[in-house]
Structure formats: C-alpha cells, structure tokens
Amino acid sequence: MIGLYLHPPEKAVVLCVDEKSQIQALDRTQPLLPMRPGQVERRTHDYVRHGTATLFAALDIATGEVTGRTYARHRHQEFLRFLQLVARRYPRGQLHLVLDNYRTHKHPEVQAWLAHHPRFHLHFTPTSSSWLNQVETWFSLVHRKAIHRGVFRSVAHLKDAIQRFLDAWNERKHPFVWVKSPAQVLRSYNREAISVSVH
C-alpha cells in the first residue's frame, strides 16, 4: 500500500476511495447564538433529524482532486454507480483504487462489473487500518468544515453544503503529503495489527 502511494505505476492513476455513510441532516430546534465579546457561541443540544445521505469520494493522490457524489444509501448499487462515474471521469489509463474491505466493495455484481473493466485494479487496506486510506483525511475535513456545525433543514440542504465544499476543494486542490517515513508508517501499522490480534 505504502509503495503504491510513493511509487505509483507509470501512467496510472491512484485513487483513494471510500464512502462516508449516514451523514445526518440535522436542524437545531433553536437558532445558533453567535459569539459576542466575552461569550462563546451557544447552541441547543436538541435537534430535528431530516434524513441522511452517503458521500462516495475518490481522492487522486497525485493532484488532490476529489470526485464525489452523494446518494441516499450505500449499497453495492450505489458503489457501482460511483465506479461508473469514476470511469467517466478518468476515461483512459489504468486506475488503481485503494479501499477498505467493506462487503459492498466485493459484491458479486461489483466483481462482475470489474471483470468487464480490467483497467480497474482494487487494493484493499488491511483490517483496522482505514487510516492508510488518504480519503479518510479528506472526509475529516468535510466533516469539520461543512457538516459538523451546519444546520440543515433537509437532505437537499446537506447535499448542497457538501457539494459547495467539494467544488471549493477542487478549485484549490492539493495532494496530501505523508509526514512520516515509510518505515514509521509500517511500524504504526504493525503496532495496530498486534493490538487488534491481542484483543
């Protein structure tokens, strides 16, 4: 996995792919009270749920560009539609997708589609190592900057906020850079793997 990031195959695109599911469109029961001198922002702790959405995203590790789409659910059908979107976005060349072991990614219909699209190569992160997938860092940014403090009166408002963040990101896109050496990353992974096996 680390080798794929550091030395991607020549003339190929490496995409980190995942879905952020069950994003809730939450509307506070009272308006936010903004910050004032000597007083922090205040908001009620109760809210009204207006439904959920799932964000599928593919982060190009070379450029930082993100292909994203929101769907109502996160079944294999939506994953297939997202793969078709990725195929249209990158019409030529080999595509290497880094993703987790979620069963949707291995569904028989997905496998059948992949058999007819041999330029797609799937690389699965080890169990309990989703942090190796760089799109998780991007999901964290989406959550903090577009969702966490938002007030959404419908799923459509939630999707609009996500799309605005996605558009703004792609205007200023940049790749993520590993701050640790490959050896440090592997040591972290090995510690994680040992911890999971002990528990």
- pLDDT tens per residue, range 102-160: 888 999 999 999 999 999 999 998 877 777 899 999 999 999 999 887 778 889 999 99
Q: How far is CA 166 from CA 70, 77, 187, in A?
A: 11, 23, 33
Task: Sketch out the chain's domains with CATH numbers.
Answer: 2-35+42-198 (3.30.420.10)
pLDDT for 30-65, tens place per residue?
Answer: 555 566 687 665 555 656 677 889 999 999 999 999
CA atoms of 74 and 93, how far apart (whole Å) = 27
Alpha-carbon Rg for the chain in angstroms: 19
pTM value > 0.85: no
C-alpha span between 44 and 139 (Å, rounded)? 25
